[in-house]
């Protein structure tokens, strides 16, 4: 249950507890909360544990330059740290942040690794159980591993042929593709979930975690079939906030481990993982001629520039561009070929 926020005091006093409580009041995702807290704590420690209210823009510049020049972090990592610190000052502390001037990271942004369709199929062939279905949704629907394991029964819309992603990064709902090849496996999985849920209810369990205040607003929703996780955990666990024992969804880490093992068995020597399926989903759509705006919507990217990186991933040869060398119908003669031809011609003349 590593994606459920840990409980906070009713009246937080410690600085970081207050910061966490503020982010939760804005319904920010728990992963964002963890990431921002990591960088804020690192920022405070860098400045000798001084209170952020006593620090200035110059201190922010110094820290961000240190990340780039001394710790050699990537551009994206430096941007994440910047976002966390600006959020801390502008939103939480209510302090204005001026024009920052810090050393930028020299690490270039790498292109994402992608699977060919054959490679993706080989990886999936080496995964079994519900982890296989999870990974298939990452490749067939472009889901993140987090989005895949958090799916609920009601998120699979068979009648409209789509999947509704509710608990996504940034809390933005979207609709994505429901692969036809997964319709029957998903129906079977839902039947299993509902049968298991009935048994859990008989045993005095059967409630499920609901985000935000939905459990208070809809008291019967936590035991409703529609809200049950599509990929429930194999055993019960205790909710760290309420102390209620219930069945959560399977762990993201479990799926990540199974995918890594499958990549190794498939003898694919790329720096790949769960997110590679999502990248491969996007590039395959691009190869098939899907417009970039549609891909942006299916992936849930807020900024089109994030999606446009896939135009660099798809090879030029896959867009119909041919090397001029390959357009020559006959191979160019070598010097030896020329000499042989010349000697042959001389022999004919002497005859």
Rounded CA separation 122/125 (Å): 5
Strand partners, 164: 175
What's residue 193's pLDDT? 96
Residue 149's CATH number: 1.10.443.10
Please indicate, yes or no, if residue 333 is contained in any of the structural domains.
no
| Domain boundary pick from 65, 92, 119 | 92
What's residue 218's pLDDT? 76
The β-bridge relationship of strands 174-177 and 156-157 is: unpaired
Which entry of 247, 248, 278, 279 is annotated as an active-site residue?
A: 278
Q: How many CB atoms lie within 10 A of CB 32?
A: 18
Please indicate, yes or no, if residue 51 is contained in any of the structural domains.
yes
Rounded CA separation 230/11 (Å): 36
The pTM of this model reads: 0.75
Which entry of 24, 47, 79, 169 is annotated as an active-site residue?
A: 169
Which entry of 24, 47, 122, 275 is annotated as an active-site residue?
A: 275
Query: Residues in the chain with pLDDT < 70?
Result: 1-4, 105-109, 168-171, 212-213, 215, 241, 315-323, 325-351
What's residue 9's pLDDT? 85
DSSP letter (8 states) at residue 111:
P
Domain span at 119? 111-317
Which entry of 20, 132, 144, 279 is annotated as an active-site residue?
A: 144
DSSP string, 180-228: GGGHHHHHHHHHHHHHHHHHHHHTT------STTHHHHSTTGGGSGGGS
- 50 included as an active-site residue: no
- 317 included as an active-site residue: no
Please indicate, yes or no, if residue 347 is contained in any of the structural domains.
no
- 144 included as an active-site residue: yes
Domain count, the chain: 2
**Structure tokens of 186?**
């998903």
**Structure tokens of 47?**
């400045």
Task: Work out the angle at residue 78's Cα, subtended by the Cα atoms of residues 73 and 83, and round it to the nearest 5 degrees.
Answer: 155
Please indicate, yes or no, if residue 100 is contained in any of the structural domains.
no
* 272 shares a domain with 310: yes
What φ, ψ does residue 30 adopt, rounded to 5°?
A: -65, -35
- 310 included as an active-site residue: yes
**Structure tokens of 101?**
């001037």
């Amino acid at each position: 249950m590593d994606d459920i926020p840990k409980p906070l005091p009713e009246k937080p006093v410690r600085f970081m507890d207050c910061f966490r409580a503020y982010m939760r009041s804005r319904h920010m995702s728990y992963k964002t909360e963890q990431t921002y807290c990591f960088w804020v704590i690192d920022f405070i420690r860098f400045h000798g544990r001084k209170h952020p209210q006593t620090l200035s823009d110059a201190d922010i510049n110094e820290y961000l330059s240190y990340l780039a020049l001394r710790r050699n972090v990537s551009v994206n990592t430096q941007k994440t740290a910047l976002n966390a610190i600006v959020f801390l000052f502008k939103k939480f502390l209510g302090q204005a942040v001026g024009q920052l001037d810090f050393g930028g990271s020299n690490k270039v942004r790498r292109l994402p690794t992608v699977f060919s369709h054959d490679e993706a199929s080989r990886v999936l062939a080496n995964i079994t159980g519900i982890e296989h279905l999870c990974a298939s949704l990452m490749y067939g629907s472009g889901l993140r591993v987090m989005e895949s394991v958090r799916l609920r029964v009601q998120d699979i819309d068979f009648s409209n042929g789509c999947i509704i992603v509710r608990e996504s990064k940034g809390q933005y709902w979207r609709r994505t593709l429901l692969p036809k090849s997964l319709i029957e496996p998903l129906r079977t999985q839902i039947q299993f979930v509902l049968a298991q849920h009935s048994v859990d209810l008989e045993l005095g369990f059967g409630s499920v975690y609901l985000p935000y205040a939905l459990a208070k607003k809809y008291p019967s929703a936590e035991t409703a079939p529609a809200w049950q996780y599509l990929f429930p955990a194999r055993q019960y666990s205790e909710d760290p906030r309420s102390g209620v024992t219930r069945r959560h969804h399977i762990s993201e880490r479990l799926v990540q481990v199974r995918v890594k093992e499958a990549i190794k068995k498939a003898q694919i020597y790329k720096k790949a993982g769960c997110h590679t399926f999502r990248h491969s989903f996007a590039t395959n759509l691009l190869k098939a001629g899907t417009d970039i705006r549609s891909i942006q919507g299916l992936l849930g990217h807020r900024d089109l520039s994030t999606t446009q990186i896939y135009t660099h991933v798809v090879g030029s040869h896959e867009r119909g561009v041919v090397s001029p060398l390959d357009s020559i119908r006959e191979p160019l003669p070598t010097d030896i070929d020329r000499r042989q031809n010349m000697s042959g011609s001389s022999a004919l003349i002497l005859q």
